[in-house]
Amino acid sequence: MSHYVYIVECSDGSLYTGYTTDVDRRVSEHNAGEGAKYTRGRTPVELRHVETFADKGTALSREHAIKRLSRVEKESLLDE
């Protein structure tokens, strides 16, 4: 099983970083208002960045590291 860290851009331009084992399902959940509380009022969201990891621990560590980045540093990760 693969583990993913992703960044979505919300409708208000803010960025949300999360962890999942199924990126497509998770983005759909965000857009359906069933995802994280943060994204519920900021739909639709657009997937902007994904990183893949072999184990959950490494993925969660990376998620934490990304969440600590500045906005400018996060923007440098975004897929165009």
- Give the model confidence (pLDDT) of 3-45 as tens digits: 999 999 999 999 999 999 999 999 999 999 998 999 999 999 9
* Per-residue pLDDT at 35: 83
The pTM (predicted TM-score) of the whole model is 0.95
- Give the model confidence (pLDDT) of 56-80 as tens digits: 999 999 999 999 999 999 999 997 5
* Per-residue pLDDT at 29: 97
* Per-residue pLDDT at 80: 54
All structural domains of the chain, each given as residue ranges with its CATH number in brackets, are: 3-75 (3.40.1440.10)
The secondary structure of the chain as a DSSP string is --EEEEEEE-TTS-EEEEEES-HHHHHHHHHTT-S-HHHHTS-S-EEEEEEEESSHHHHHHHHHHHHTS-HHHHHTT---
